[in-house]
Amino acid sequence: MADADASPSDATPSAPRSDTKGIVDAAGLLARARFRRHLATPELRPYVEQYWLIDWDLTQPYASHVVPHPSVNVVFQRLPGQEPFAEVAGIGLDLFTQKLEGRGRVCGVKFRPGGFRPFAPTAPVSAWTGRRMLPLAEVFGKIPENALDAVLTPDDEHARVAALDAFLLALGPTPDPQADLAMALAERIRTDRGIRRVSEFARAQGMSVRTLQRLFSTYVGVGPKWMILRHRIHEALEHAETGEDVDWADVADALGYADQAHLIRDFTATVGVPPTAYAPQ
């Protein structure tokens, strides 16, 4: 049986992450929009990686692109020419593009891989994978009253964070040891570049590959192999974002690829251009 005593709460951070992993042309986005991250209230931190807030007021449209993380997001949005709305966004399998124009505001909840299902335990997380614009009522079955206004209306960002806390606390979470296990295993994949083969990882946890895959399908929404590959692409994108000359053969080796060609193939399929041709704006 897996080493289930490693809980994600054991490594609960004291500050939100500050990296730009997954953001294509991070400098371009940050020059045009105010992007901030906040931690959830301590009770929610085992499940929620961070809240993210974006505000912009642009005279020229800008298309932002993100290589999605293996995380479900709940997103509250106020966009020009539209009524405010909220959605559940399952794990994105493809490059995500969002056009920013005029004046807008987005407040999001980024769950830890494995941390979403305790708030929506009636379906496997894989049911939402690759899907966006999911109504909150469809996923949660209930919606706290006035959540949309409470999150999007305040100009004080700390008031928005408090509203996000209240929204999630009203929904749960429902304690689930299997969710704790999934979060712990997903965190190991994120932080340990030595994990390269699903079969070896499963064996190290005392699990069969099928059991591990079933756990990830139910609680994370994607398989462990997908997670390993996606984290590789995030790191490769960080190298490309520096704008410096990169020895891609060395990067490929460090990330566990058989050779540079395999890295270039995965990077191109995900980002749209090969790393050798990528240039931040």
How is the chain split into domains, by residue range?
12-171, 177-271
pLDDT, residue 258, reads 85
20: pLDDT confidence band, cut at 50, 70 and 90? confident
Confidence category of residue 17, pLDDT binned at 50, 70, 90 = confident
Region of residue 214 (phi > 0: left; psi between -120 and 50: alpha; otherwise: beta)? alpha
pTM above 0.85, yes or no: yes
- Beta-strand (E) ranges in 26-140? 33-38, 48-57, 62-66, 73-78, 85-89, 96-100, 103-111
**pLDDT surpasses 70 at 29:** yes
- How confident is the model at residue 189, as a pLDDT? 94
Give the mean model confidence (pLDDT) for residues 256-280.
Answer: 85
pLDDT tier, 280 (very low <50, low <70, confident <90, very high otherwise): low
> So what's the pLDDT on residue 2?
43
| The CATH fold of domain 177-271 | Arc Repressor Mutant, subunit A (1.10.10)
Q: Which residues contact 159 (CB under 8 A, 6 or more apart)?
A: none
pLDDT of 175 higher than 80: yes
Strands 73-78 and 103-111: antiparallel
